[in-house]
Structure 1
Amino acid sequence: MTEELENLLRPDLRGQTPYGAPQLDVPVQLNTNENAYAIPADVAAVIEEHLSREVRGLNRYPDRDATALRADFAAYLGHGLTADHVWAANGSNEILQQLLQAFGGPGRTVLGFMPSYSMHPLLARGTGTAFIDAGREDDYTLSADHVRRAITEHDPDLVFLVSPNNPTGTALDADVIEAAYEAARGIVIVDEAYVEFARDPNSTALNRLEGRRRLVVSRTMSKAFAFAGARVGYLAADPELVEKLLLVRLPYHLSSLTQAAARGALACAAQLQAEVDELKHQRDRIVKNLRAKGLPVADSDANFVLFGGLADAAAVWRAVLDQGVLIRDVGLPGCLRITAGTEEETTAFLDAVETVMARRPELFSTDS
């Protein structure tokens, strides 16, 4: 960027770098927590049928409020929710951005607990909301007492909780969410992008929505639905809160084609999520195998695993990449993150780690 444009940029954005993950053409890509399985042909046919109905009407704007899609999401979520309890947008990032636009902004604060989803502080900055990091325990867990103390100390306008957390994969206990809601005066957002992979299927914060008008549960279709390329996110909350988001949404923000594709996918929800159990199996296989090698591994309720025991994480990342497997360096000292893949992809990763450990043991700080 030229000096002239740099000076014209907002001061809080100067010198910043955009969010991104390496996109490399390698045989095994396990770095961005995508669903490893492609959409089945028969499900693709259903989605294509939904899309074909919309093509001839593309001269008209889409349903501005995505009413039918929101009703489908409500039916999928259950818990007595209706379309009025649901909002949809282009990925859960836009959902979170709209929440910050509506309830954050200049002079307001959002509290997070890092390490967590790295987009949270970036979305806060983009909306002029001050981000406060209250941290976590040394083992990356989050307790009710920690959350309660942080909220009491900082008195934020919004609170970000992530369950299962990214990049650690750890799920929150119910008492953490309860403590956050009781201590906060503002909006409490539980980001559940990976909740379909949780070991306890009843761990969702949807169980606590009723009667809590400031609680929001954010979801995505990217992971369990294998729908990352479609960019569809949604939330569940009190209808009055959902209505407030209409003040900041862009006109016709969700295209007719996006809505149609999402409705087609939701019609096939059970089939699309049939591979979730297999991905959970591969995740648990990674955990068991890495621990057997003497590497510390965080318990995971997501479709990825954070592992440590690395004397030089960057060098291990590169050495695994040289074996044709792309994983993620999330910036945590001595740690890397691996997405659960197909059985073959998972095997390729485990074989790559074994090879690197044998050839370059100095890169690992393990007793094995």
Structure 2
Amino acid sequence: MTSLDDLPIRDDLRGLTPYGAPQLEVPVRLNVNENAYRVPEEVALDIVQEIARALPDANRYPDREFDALRRGFAEYLGHGLTPAHIWAGNGSNEVLQHVLQAFGGPGRSLLSFTPTYSMYPLLAQGVGMRWVPVPRAADFTLTPDAVRAAIAEHDPDVVFLCTPNNPTGTPLGLDVIEAAAEAASGIVLVDEAYTEFAHDRSQTALSLLERFPRLLVSRTMSKAFAFAGVRVGYLAAHPAVIDALRLVRLPYHLSAITQAAAIAALRHSDAMLARVDALREQRDRIVDELGALGLQPYPSDANFVLVGGVADPQATFRALLDRGILVRDVGLPGTLRITAGTPAETTAVLSAMAELADA
């Protein structure tokens, strides 16, 4: 029987396992940073109606330039952006892939500061570029000087900065992003997938785009808009960058259904961000209450908390799973990552953690 090892796959892919977190049906799922709230009924109804308007023309290819959706994103982001500054894809991972296809590739390098989003090295490998991981400080923070030094040492073609950082929740100051944009000769992408959950949402790299034509800011609808199952990511950048991304996208890569759903959801951004505020409260509750238990939760600007001081992460993971609660072991010693849930879900995980602490 033929197995994967018998196939003529690329040598650098041999021995690898696919990316992915456990998908288990348990009462409380707090492992992959999903929005804990379902799409509100009135928003879902509007989305369904928008899709219904698009369906009769499904015999035709969709708008290749997704003009209406780009207008919607530009209006949502503000900062003087126009549709010409906007790109989108099937989830922010596809957007990041487009960036590396256009500006990376064999003989080029991608630098980021670890620990960070585990897809970055996989995306680099997928386009045949070299991955350059630079360790963060012990508390996972970055300084302008540290960023300048790393870029000067490695001279990367692309730099990815994740803020708030996944899996640590650590925000980056605008001075850090400015330092990277000033020091880098290539592309600097700021991954703001979780920025709507930040304590201060005004601190966004979007404010720097006018000054730095090689600066890109990516976002996603998966988190704040509860659209993880729809798969819509986007970025803002100089129009010349958008032209470069057109060179590598697949034809008609955003379906008419995807475009319709996202356009309708953007009309309800205020309602969706109200749910974000509720999740921020639960995130801060996790930090406060687990800290009171003697654990070491790291400050977070995302919709999750990296909890340190866990004596045996795997044992705690299994004990929580036995109680119907799924969290994430991200492989950092002495830690588990817990997504902020509904008040009931947060109560469940906090109660379980307190019970385990008393055992």
**SS state at 1:172 partner:** coil
- Cα displacement (A) at 1:174: 1.1
Pairing 1:23-42 to 2, within 5 Å after superposition: 23-42=23-42
Pairing 1:5-16 to 2, within 5 Å after superposition: 5-6=5-6, 8-16=8-16
- Cα displacement (A) at 1:3: 6.0
Structure 2 CA distance, aligned partners of 1:69 and 1:5? 43
Letter aligned with residue 286 of structure 2: I
Structure 2 CA distance, aligned partners of 1:285 and 1:14? 43
Runs of 4+ in structure 1 off by over 2 angstroms are 1-7
Quickly say closer, same or farther: Cα 1:6–1:112, change in 2 above 3 A: farther
Structure 1 CA distance, aligned partners of 2:288 and 2:349? 14
In the alignment, what sits opposite 2:100? Answer: 100
Structure 1 CA distance, aligned partners of 2:321 and 2:353? 10
TM-score, normalization by structure 1: 0.96
**SS state at 1:294 partner:** coil
* Matched positions, count: 359
Structure 2 CA distance, aligned partners of 1:334 and 1:5? 35
In the alignment, what sits opposite 2:352? Answer: 352
In the alignment, what sits opposite 2:49? Answer: 49
In the alignment, what sits opposite 1:88? Answer: 88
Structure 1 CA distance, aligned partners of 2:6 and 2:109? 26
**SS state at 1:8 partner:** coil
Letter aligned with residue 129 of structure 1: M
Q: Percent of pairs identical after alignment?
A: 62
Q: Deviations over 1:185-214 (max 9, x none)?
A: 000000000000000111110010103110
Answer yes or no: is the 8 Å Cα contact 1:218–1:235 preserved in 2.
yes
In the alignment, what sits opposite 2:256? Answer: 256
Structure 1 CA distance, aligned partners of 2:222 and 2:207? 22
In the alignment, what sits opposite 2:342? Answer: 342
Structure 2 CA distance, aligned partners of 1:201 and 1:273? 11
In the alignment, what sits opposite 1:18? Answer: 18
Structure 1 CA distance, aligned partners of 2:313 and 2:122? 24
- Cα displacement (A) at 1:358: 1.6
In the alignment, what sits opposite 1:295? Answer: 295
TM-score, normalization by structure 2: 0.98
Structure 2 CA distance, aligned partners of 1:6 and 1:144? 48
Answer yes or no: is the 8 Å Cα contact 1:225–1:272 preserved in 2.
yes
In the alignment, what sits opposite 2:131? Answer: 131
Letter aligned with residue 311 of structure 2: A
Answer yes or no: is the 8 Å Cα contact 2:293–2:357 preserved in 1.
no
Letter aligned with residue 16 of structure 1: L
- Cα displacement (A) at 1:4: 7.2
Answer yes or no: is the 8 Å Cα contact 2:30–2:326 preserved in 1.
yes
Letter aligned with residue 344 of structure 2: E
In the alignment, what sits opposite 2:155? Answer: 155
- Cα displacement (A) at 1:167: 0.4
Structure 1 segments unaligned to the other structure (5+ residues): 360-368
Structure 2 CA distance, aligned partners of 1:311 and 1:210? 47
Letter aligned with residue 153 of structure 1: E
Answer yes or no: is the 8 Å Cα contact 2:169–2:298 preserved in 1.
yes
Letter aligned with residue 344 of structure 1: A
Structural RMSD (CA):
1.1
- Cα displacement (A) at 1:7: 5.3
Pairing 1:102-251 to 2, within 5 Å after superposition: 102-251=102-251
- Cα displacement (A) at 1:297: 1.2
Structure 2 segments unaligned to the other structure (5+ residues): none
Structure 2 CA distance, aligned partners of 1:270 and 1:27? 29
